[in-house]
Amino acid sequence: MSLPAPEVLQATILNTLATSAQGEIVDSREIVINGEKMSSAEQQAVVKGVLDSLWSKEMVEYSQITTTTYSLTPEGEGIAKDGSQEYRVWSVLKGKGEPTSIPDVQKLVGADIAKVGQAQGFKNKLIAKEGAGLVRLVEGVEDTTATQLRVVLEKGDHEAAIIKELQKRKLITPKKHIHYSVKKGPHFATEVKQLETDLTADMIANGSWKDASFKQYNFAAAGQPTEGGALHPLLKVREEFRQIFFDMGFTEMPTNRFVESAFWNFDAMFVPQQHPAREMQDTFYVASPAKSARPDEEYYERVKKTHEVGGYGSIGYRAPFSREESEKLLLRTHTTAVSTDMLYQIANQPGGFKPAKMFSIDRVFRNETADATHLAEFHQVEGVVADYDITLGDLIGFMKAFYEKTGNHKLRFKPAYNPYTEPSMEVFSWHEGLQKWIEIANSGVFRPEMLEPMGLPKGVRVLGWGMSLERPTMIKYAIQDIRTLVGHKTDLAQVKVRPAVRLEKGDE
């Protein structure tokens, strides 16, 4: 089987139509190229492509003709060759009074043939049961099934009722064939003229448009489907959290500063410069520029003194404090760096300190190896409350009110340690699906060593809590591997179809 070049087939079709007395090709399978008829399905597919091209130029008109032929299954081929199962069973039996046992029939023709032949023989009244064996009911038998299959093998078809019965027995299988009838079109010609698709300025200038033939525009053709944007699941859950904070009277902090100085990310929060989290294996440091801008010098000196010798009821860390370490630039490891800067601003705003409730939701960066539950980049959700004489009980109350709005009604609080909060608590929630307590947040009361160097009054306390955005999103959407939520393994089709969440429904 060979497939001709479209140009050769195109010329053959046009010349055949031109020389035909009826101006028609009744059956495209009769088209001959290099002495071979275009009868196979693959060859007719090439014919269809050429006809579509000629039809678009209105040179031909064509219609599709679908026919069905039948071929024998392997079982059908065996029957056409050796006879049907019922005939072969009948042929080994004797007349009435001389029954042949069923085990003997199976030995003579085989168990499978005996089983099918016995059923068909009973149905066609060729055999009968006598005692424990089988006998013939008739002496002369025409093997109708084998005869019918030989007709199908030769002609590819038979009467509708016979075809239905043979298909039911799975002795034949249908195969559809597509071919075409072709007629001359309104612009028929034996040579294909190139149609122009655009009217250009050059064509107008030189006048060639007058002799040009233009391809018709199909104004009824469907255009390319438009695709609207889709919110990523993280953004859907993020928006739910934002609305909860707004409902509770919080304002949103500006978090558009991914690169922070070590001073705001660590020092101002009273994290010692010798803390292991500040090492390269936990933090992404920036090579260029090498240094950050300096904070207010008086504030810097107060922070430095608190680290080295203490103050505000603390003895400090009793370790050297390096300006070079403070000026290093890094990708922020938590959004608390933003909270620290905001607390310094409200401590030194015109008119003095005023109570505030602030939140932020944005990206942070940790130098971690990616796996099913960790990424080097993730989102942190953080809430901060600053007011006079508030306590750990107020923090627990705030968190209970917040998490009830997210559907988490069963909470537990466990003591923890953070360098910048005392007391500190981890927050656990009961997960109905997993049937266990899972950690959902970290929290605490910011230390005086962090707050008072900023200039906040002594009676002011600051409560804070934070959690990731990815974990609740994975729970809500039943995602097992964080790398399928964020990153190159994300299924964009799933991003488009994932529904919005209603956090008040909880985790059920």
Q: How confident is the model at residue 180 (pLDDT cuts 50, 70, 90)?
A: very high
What are 445-494's pLDDT values in tens digits?
Answer: 999 999 999 999 988 999 998 888 888 887 777 777 778 777 777 777 77
Average pLDDT over residues 205-223: 81
What are 395-442's pLDDT values in tens digits?
Answer: 999 989 988 888 778 889 999 998 889 999 999 988 777 788 888 889
Element (H, E) at 123: helix 111-123
Find, among 128, 65, 52, the residue nearest to 97 by Cα: 128
Written as one letter, the residue type at 227 is E
Query: Would the pLDDT of 334 be above 60?
Result: yes
Q: Rounded mean pLDDT of the chain?
A: 86
Round to whole Å and give the CA distance between 6 and 25. 18
Q: Are 500 and 236 in contact (CB under 8 A)?
A: yes
Q: At what angle do helices 102-109 and 111-123 cross, to 10 degrees?
A: 120
Tracing tokens 């079709």 back to the chain, one arrives at: 13
Residues 6+ apart with CB under 8 A from 90: 117, 121, 126, 127, 136, 141
Written as one letter, the residue type at 372 is A
The lowest-confidence range among 203-207, 497-501, 502-506 is 502-506
* pTM metric for this prediction: 0.54
Q: Are 295 and 338 in contact (CB under 8 A)?
A: no
Beta-carbon count within 10 A of 312 CB: 15
Average pLDDT over residues 495-502: 72
What are 143-168's pLDDT values in tens digits?
Answer: 888 889 999 888 888 998 999 999 99
Element (H, E) at 386: strand 377-388
Find, among 213, 168, 205, 212, the residue nearest to 187 by Cα: 213
Q: What is the pLDDT of residue 395?
A: 92
What are 287-314's pLDDT values in tens digits?
Answer: 888 888 888 899 999 999 999 998 888 9
What are 344-398's pLDDT values in tens digits?
Answer: 999 999 988 999 999 999 988 888 777 766 677 888 999 999 999 899 999 999 9
Residue 236, SS3 per DSSP = helix
472: buried, middle or exposed (CB in 10 Å: 19+, 13-18, 0-12)?
A: buried
Query: Would the pLDDT of 131 be above 60?
Result: yes
Residue 352, SS3 per DSSP = coil
The share of the chain scoring above pLDDT 90, in percent, equals 27
Round to whole Å and give the CA distance between 361 and 239. 10
Both tokens assigned to 42: 């693959």
Residue 374 is given by DSSP the state -
Beta-carbon count within 10 A of 249 CB: 8
Angle, vertex CA 351, rays to CA 347 and CA 356, nearest 5: 50
What are 223-255's pLDDT values in tens digits?
Answer: 888 877 778 888 888 888 999 999 999 999 998
Q: What is the pLDDT of residue 281?
A: 66
Instruction: Give bridge partners of residue 269 from the DSSP assignment.
Output: none
